Structure 1
Amino acid sequence: MPHALAYAIDGPTGRFSRTTIERREPGPTEVLFDVTHAGICHSDIHTARGEWGPATYPLVPGHELAGVVREVGAQVTKFSVGDRVGVGCFVDSCGTCDSCRAGEEQFCDGPGGTVWTYNATGRDGLPTAGGYSTCITVEQDYVCSIPDAIELANAAPLLCAGITMYSPLKRWGAGPGKRVAIVGMGGLGHMGVQIAAAMGAEVAVISQTRSKEADGRRFGASEYHAISEPGTLRSLRKRFDLIVSTVSGAQDLNGLIGCLRTGGALVDVGLPEHPVTLSLSGLVGQRRVLAGSQIGGIAETQEMLDFCAEHGLAAEIELIGGEDINDAYDRVVASDVRYRFVIDTSTF
């Protein structure tokens, strides 16, 4: 069996340390690829620290993987050795339920459901291990092609952050003539600004402070608003067709809903840890929509990668080594990263 060097954490209060894990030999329709880069998503931190419920330890997180194909199964038709590829938040699904047939494998409700890239049970009956490792074996239908125009290090975060923003922006009609606001300017938000601008929308950032205003405008925003300044949300009432909130902490949902035009939509992708309070009158009175969004299916993820390549978009990153993961987690929680940490697995 192929072996991979990896970084694992042994409990919710533990620290990452280097280890070796086994990967399965690629089956007839599977791809084994060398992971060159892995992004650190805040959901990795929530899972590793047990903040979203029990996890299986030792845990190797990472669902933003980019690398190069090393070996393919005898029946693989989609990829060849040497291809540049990526894997996102899931590595398998039933393939036959309504969601899978619709290309929305992330919502699989068949036997076993969606198989997440880590902290799940794989087709071999073993716990899945993610991208903080030097290689991985995945069924070809859950692998995406990374265009040559995007560096692998900058492509890795697109497999989660990129598709998390692209999917709701596309679904809710971001484009010419539409005013779009992105709430939060972190790993998700900085991609949302770029993508919405490339789609042709008029883009605004709503952030806690103005500390990232120059970056927001560089990414394509024409407006930048700071919630810490009194009266900001009142000044934006009925301004936007679409608001996408990336914030996982406490936020004024009622105030944001008030910033929507009649019939506008507020889409949350930040998954706040605690329940929120909502007044329905702000929705009913103006036919507004409150929605949630997750990632995207494989076809939509590939579409997003091709869109980013066509428009010259990529994640802005800080490249780190495996020994820096513990510190990086603390810095993400402190919002001290611009805008995504990416692990260089050659340091393993």
Structure 2
Amino acid sequence: MPDPDPARGTASERPTIHDVARLANVSPATVSKVLRGVGAVKADNAARIHQAVRELGFRIDPLAANLRRSRRSIVGLVVPDFRNPFFGSIVAAFERLAESSGYRLVAVSSSEKPEREGSQIEALLDWRVAGLIVVPMGETPPVQASIRDQNVPMVLIDRVPDETGFDKVAVNNAEASAAVIRHLAGLGHRRILVACASPERTTMRERMRGVMAAAEAAGLAGAVEVVACGHDVASAMAAMAERFAAGNLPTAAFALFSPATLAILREVERRGLAVPRDLSVVGFDDVEWMQVTHPPIAAVIQPIEEIAGTAWTQLMHRLANPGGAPCSFEVTCRLDFRASVAPPGQ
């Protein structure tokens, strides 16, 4: 049965700004000012508008609002996994940057699946986003034809392929990893376990390149044991449990991604071992809990705010100045060798 109040529309209709205006007895322009928080509106008019919004259950349609503006106001962000603390921090950093720049951030996850990555990007393009920031899954930038057809600027971050045709921001993965191996070798470690994720990731390849180069330079190329750990906590736990059960452990372990750091420490605890007496441990990425364990865990620290800031600045530059050759940026990691690292047997 239709609602007897024509201002509310039928039960199947979504209330519009005009419905709110009629119910509040003001103009649609006044409603728009109140909802956007711009311009001076009389207090009693604003109160009636807010009351009408509540009664009608009115919500702004972000896509329609975005299309009406001369400037698109939504930026899309695609990350592999919200559960990974590194990517969670990346989302938070970009959200702050978007708000301070007058944009809305829509963040989605590819769930480490290339086909989902493509569909998520297509969905963001349907939202008429102003630009995209993507942590890509593979070598080929996802749905690049659609992105270029719609003239949407995109910045790739973290796992960036060598040749992309898009702007990209990465960290010095190889040099940071090499520095860890040099430090461990300098302390006297001659057998080092390296836990890595899937080798198709560019970050893993770069980190492994740094590891092996430094190990070879130190005369330890044959003493580095590589354990593949999948890409999530569950697979890392399983891989580390199997490796520790085999015995004959090395004296140091370097985890190239944070789930592997957690998996190594769980096995240390389960087997009654001690860090660093039985095993020195270093992790790539600094998660908050790593700073408060006993002892605190040494880490390669990726400067998340700098990564996000560099990518955001470049995206804003592309929006203001379309075209031009793609740019590459490299951000330097910081190493913090905390008490989880010591000479063997100490």
TM-score (ref. length: structure 1): 0.32
Higher CA-based Rg: 2
Higher helix share: 2
Q: Which has the higher strand share?
A: 1
User: Normalising to structure 2: TM-score of the pair?
Assistant: 0.32
